[in-house]
Structures are given as structure tokens and as C-alpha cells.
């Protein structure tokens, strides 16, 4: 395989291979011609300050046992938890987790999704995000297979473009979930964490992206490709690759749960996830 060199991406791969040793020398840096297919810049204020209802709908409540993760929050559609805002000159979506008693739960937050409104199969899906901070905070920018209502999770597949733990403000986590080949109710996941040595992700905006093509998903933090997860990787884990279907997008800020642990005295509420934009590009087919 030819090794195509793009300077910044080469440096990124080099960094990752020193730090984690998980990428092979023969990983090809692909060239793309991206064309913008769908976006929400969060620049246009709406009459109720909620995000564009043509693009986003809501998950409400605590789901089943904290959305399956023992999360502590009750998701709402109130502007105290989700709204368009302008902060430090950036027009953004602001999702806020609050410590308050509501509907029997101790925290509130929000989870919005493009389910039923927009989905994509392949492409570059990116968001520019400023993280919250503090133990027990779990923001995510992720995707689920659009066939989830008939192919119950994990059979629908899940791509986590960005997950982050508030007590580790220097790390992003990228993950792909697929169903086990022997039992499609069993989740098999491959995950990679990555971060900068001397920059936190909550003190400024960073770009979180995947470049997704048939049988292959590349994970990016800013300009750095930090992991590629492929059909072959899932085959090795005896899982069925289900990421050749349309997926919809989700943005949320969870509180507590098995992945991140619960908030403690080092967590100050309210905490906000700020999203400058979400953009979906397709390959230019000429």
C-alpha cells in the first residue's frame, strides 16, 4: 500500500503510534473531496430559543435505568437545559446540566437528536465543541443506526464520535459498538482515547470528527487522526459490522452513571456543553 503523506496528518499518526502503538505503518491517509451535505451552525435565533425543530428532536426523562447506564439526569426540553446562545462572541448550542430536584431526579440536562429528521450513511461528520468540566459529567456527540426501532441496540450499531469524562479534561474517547455475531443483544465495542499533553479540552473549542466510509471509520481530534476502526477489527472481535447503514446524530450531556462515575464535591453545577456547529459532508461524486 502506498503511504500518502499529508504533513499534519503524518505528524498526528506519528504521535499516536508513539503514545499507543495501535496504528500500523500501512494505514493509508485517504484523500477526500468533501461537499457540505447538512449542517446546523446554531447562528439563527429562534422564537423560543430552542434549536431548529426541522433538525432536532428530544429525548425526555431518564429512560430505562438511566438510559441503560445508571445516569442520574432527567432530560428536559426546557431552555434552562438546552438553548441557542451567544457566549464570548460564539453563537452556539448550549446544553446545561443542573443540580436540581425535578420529577424525582437530582439533576436535569438535555439530549437532542436528528432521528426521523436527518440521517447519513458515510461522510465526514464533525462538531466544534467546548467541553464542561468536573467529575461525573459525561458529554457525547454520537450516532445510532436509524433502524434502531426494529434492530434493537446494539444490533443497530453505534458510533461515538466524541465521549469525554469531566474528571479527565485532557482526553477524548472514540468508540464503535456492533452486535456480537453469536448473539445480537450482546454489545461488542472498540474504543480509543486520545489527548494533548498540555492542553485541556474544556478551556477552548476543539473539532471532533469521524470520516466514515464502507467498512472503515477514522476518528479525529482537530487535525489529528487518532484511530481507525474497521470491519476487519470487528471481525476479529467476532462482531457483525453494521455501520454500512444510515445513522442519525445525537448530542447530550449526561450526569453520573457507570461510564464516568457520579459527581462529587469537586463538581460545580451548572455545567454546560457548548456546540459551535455540527456539519455533515459527503464525498463529491463526480
Partner 1 sequence: MRKNNLKYYIYALFAISIFLDVVSCSDRDVSTLEKATQYSTTAEVFIDGFSQNEDFNAWGDVYNLNIDYSTFYEGTAAIRIDVPNSTDVAGTWAGGNIYTQIPRDLSGYDCLTFYAKSSVAATMIAGFGINSSGSDYSVADSVSLNTTWTKFIIPIPVASKLTAETGMFYYSASPVNTLGYSIWIDDVKFEKLGTLAYPTIQNTLGSSLFLGKTAIGDISLTVSLPTGATQKITASSSYFSFTSSDTAVATVNNDSINVIAAGTSYIMADGFDGNLIVNSNGIGSAPNPTASSNDVLSVFSDSYSNATIYDFWCGTTSISKIYVGSNAMFYFISLNWTCMVLFNSSTSAGYVDASGYKYLHADIMTPNTVTTSSALEFDLGNYSTGSNVSTPIYTYTFSSTSKLKWIQLDIPISSYTRSKLGYITFVGTNLTNLYVDNVYFHN
| Residue positions annotated with a catalytic role | 158, 163
The DSSP code for 239 is B
Contact string (CB under 8 A) for partner 1, positions 141-170, x = contact: ------------------------xxxxxx
Beta bridge partners of 162: 141
Residue of 65, 57, 234 whose CA lies nearest to 157? 234
Contact string (CB under 8 A) for partner 1, positions 239-268, x = contact: ---------------------------x--
The C-alpha atoms of residue 260 and residue 168 are separated, in whole angstroms, by 10
Q: What is the dihedral of CA 184, 228, 133, 43, to 10 degrees?
A: -100
Contact range with partner 1 by CB under 8 A, out of 39-47, 55-63, 148-156, 194-202: 194-202
The DSSP code for 10 is H
Count of Cβ atoms closer than 10 Å to residue 185 Cβ: 10
134 vs 145, which CB is nearer to partner 1?
A: 134
Q: Are 140 and 250 in contact (CB under 8 A)?
A: yes
> Applying CB under 8 A, does 87 fall inside the site for partner 1?
no
- Per CB under 8 A, the list member of 73, 126, 202, 233 interacting with partner 1 is 202
Q: Are 160 and 174 in contact (CB under 8 A)?
A: yes
Q: Is 260 exposed, middle or buried (0-12, 13-18, 19+ CB in 10 A)?
A: buried
144 vs 254, which CB is nearer to partner 1?
A: 254
- Per CB under 8 A, the list member of 133, 219, 247, 248 interacting with partner 1 is 133
111 vs 165, which CB is nearer to partner 1?
A: 165
> Applying CB under 8 A, does 199 fall inside the site for partner 1?
yes
- Per CB under 8 A, the list member of 47, 198, 284, 285 interacting with partner 1 is 198
**Residues in contact with partner 1 by the rule CB under 8 A:** 133-135, 165-170, 197-200, 202-203, 266
Amino acid at each position: 500500500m502506498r503511504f500518502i503523506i499529508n504533513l499534519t496528518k503524518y505528524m498526528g499518526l506519528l504521535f499516536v503510534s508513539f503514545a499507543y502503538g495501535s496504528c500500523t505503518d500501512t494505514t493509508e491517509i485517504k484523500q477526500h473531496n468533501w461537499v457540505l451535505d447538512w449542517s446546523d451552525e446554531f447562528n439563527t435565533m429562534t422564537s423560543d430559543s430552542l434549536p431548529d425543530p426541522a433538525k432536532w428532536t428530544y429525548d425526555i426523562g431518564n429512560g430505562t435505568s438511566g438510559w441503560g447506564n445508571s445516569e442520574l439526569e432527567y432530560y428536559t426540553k426546557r431552555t434552562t437545559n438546552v438553548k441557542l446562545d451567544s457566549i464570548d462572541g460564539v453563537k452556539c448550542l448550549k446544553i446545561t446540566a443542573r443540580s436540581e430536584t425535578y420529577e424525582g431526579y437530582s439533576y436535569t440536562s438535555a439530549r437532542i437528536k436528528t432521528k426521523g429528521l436527518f440521517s447519513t450513511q458515510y461522510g465526514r461528520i464533525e462538531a466544534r465543541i467546548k467541553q464542561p468540566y468536573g467529575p461525573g459529567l459525561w458529554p457525547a456527540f454520537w450516532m445510532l443506526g436509524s433502524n434502531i426501532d426494529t434492530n434493537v441496540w446494539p444490533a443497530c450499531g453505534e458510533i461515538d464520535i466524541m465521549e469525554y469524562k469531566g474528571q479527565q479534561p485532557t482526553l477524548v474517547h472514540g468508540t464503535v459498538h456492533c452486535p456480537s455475531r453469536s448473539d445480537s443483544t450482546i454489545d461488542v465495542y472498540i474504543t480509543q482515547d486520545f489527548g494533548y499533553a498540555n492542553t485541556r479540552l474544556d478551556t477552548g473549542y476543539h473539532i471532533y470528527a469521524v470520516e466514515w466510509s464502507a467498512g472503515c471509520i477514522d476518528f479525529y481530534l482537530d487535525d489529528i487522526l487518532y484511530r481507525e476502526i474497521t470491519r476487519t477489527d470487528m471481525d476479529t472481535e467476532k462482531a457483525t459490522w453494521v455501520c454500512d447503514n444510515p445513522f442519525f446524530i445525537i448530542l447530550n450531556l449526561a450526569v453520573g452513571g457507570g461510564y464516568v462515575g457520579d459527581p462529587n464535591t469537586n463538581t460545580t453545577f451548572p455545567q454546560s456543553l457548548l456546540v459551535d456547529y455540527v456539519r455533515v459532508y459527503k464525498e463529491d461524486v463526480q
